[in-house]
Chains A and B, each alone.
Chain A
Amino acid sequence: SQTIHQWPATLVQPVGSPLSLECTVEGTSNPNLYWYRQAAGRGLQLLFYSVGIGQISSEVPQNLSASRPQDRQFILSSKKLLLSDSGFYLCAWSRSGFSGLREETQYFGPGTRLLVL
């Protein structure tokens, strides 16, 4: 079965510091990978998605970036954090390829709570 991991679980960082959040998927190959952000009490905002190694699409221009150095690894980074970067960051995966929509259900990791002070 497939599992998705995220770390760290929680993070408190000062404004202007760098950020690196990691997401890894097990039990599948060539997954589609996604980074979402959820502000307190709000819905999910898609930040980045990737359909393959080195292939990153950005949905929202901001000071965050994403990379996919390996097939099942997705990293969210920032060189200098802003207060507005605080939130709950969720990584998700789905099967790749043009298959039925049901098969492309997105499955989420446990998330990382980021507080920028």
Chain B
Amino acid sequence: AQKITQTQPGMFVQEKEAVTLDCTYDTSDPSYGLFWYKQPSSGEMIFLIYQGSYDQQNATEGRYSLNFQKARKSANLVISASQLGDSAMYFCAMRDRFRFGNEKLTFGTGTRLTIIP
């Protein structure tokens, strides 16, 4: 069974500093995808970044990058030069290919990030 673990329930970071949000996963499927979502106080889940298990390079999207360490089964999100608008809940999620048509995303419990001015 899939499992996603986010061990940081909350983090406080000074504005303009970089922040790393931890995510570890467990799957027996060699083909899988890892996703990060941001959920501001409005509630909408915003897709940030994707990493495939066979991708050779770490994913980057603007200020977001994913530190993918396959052997350690970790997929940490790095936000560079944090901004006040980055304050939100962040969820790590995984999708595997164990069964064709298996459309399920498994989510972690999230990390609440607060950026301090």
Contact = CB atoms under 8 A, between A and B. Distances in A.
Do A and B pair up? The answer is: yes
Interface of A: 32, 34, 42-44, 46, 49, 51, 59, 88, 90, 92, 94, 98, 100-102, 104-111, 113
Given A100-B52, A104-B33, A107-B47, 5 more contacts: A42-B109, A43-B109, A102-B33, A102-B52, A108-B45
A43 B90 CA distance: 10
Interface residues of B, number: 25
Interface of B: 31-33, 35, 37, 42-47, 50, 52, 91, 95, 97, 100-101, 103-105, 107-110
Say whether chain B's binding surface is mostly helix, strand, loop, or mixed.
Answer: loop
Contacts of B110: 42-43
A88 B91 CA distance: 15
29 contacts: A32-B103, A42-B110, A43-B91, A43-B107, A43-B108, A43-B109, A43-B110, A44-B91, A44-B107, A51-B103, A59-B104, A88-B43, A92-B45, A100-B52, A101-B31, A101-B50, A101-B52, A104-B33, A104-B95, A105-B47, A106-B105, A107-B47, A108-B45, A110-B43, A110-B44, A111-B43, A111-B44, A111-B45, A113-B43
